[in-house]
Amino acid sequence: MKMRFYCQNGDLDKIQARLQWLLVGVTPRDLFEFRLNDKPLSVQRSHCFKGRDARLHPEKILPYSIFHASIPKNQLKNGENQLVLQLLKAEANLNYPIELRELELKVWTS
């Protein structure tokens, strides 16, 4: 999956950014690679085996993983930025597709 976002006319030395996304239909054994502007991105992952509780959220979802990444300033550039998520190894007996359900990009200045 490729996602593009743009930084325009900003002083990138003052920008801080954090990215969070939720993938549904994954197991902890599924391996992913994450790259931002063709450089590896360091990512933390937490996994929920039971999915999301429909009593608290309107839509029940399958087991999921939440990924977090602080974007290093030297990986952002003015203009187009590209984030690539690639599945390297999948659990052999999955019966459902992997889906991106939520994506959040937080940007602030220091």
Torsion of CA 24, 26, 1, 9, to 10 degrees: 60
Q: How many CB atoms lie within 10 A of CB 74?
A: 10
pLDDT digits over 24-77, tens only?
Answer: 888 888 899 999 999 999 999 988 876 555 555 566 667 788 999 998 878 888
| CATH of segment(s) 2-109 | 2.60.40
Instruction: Give the separation between CA 19 and CA 63, rounded to whole angstroms.
Output: 20
SS3 47: strand
Dump the DSSP string for 53-78: -TTTSSS---SEEEEEEEEPGGG--S
Model pTM score: 0.76
**Quick check: 11 pLDDT over 60?**
yes
* For residues 9-35, average pLDDT: 85
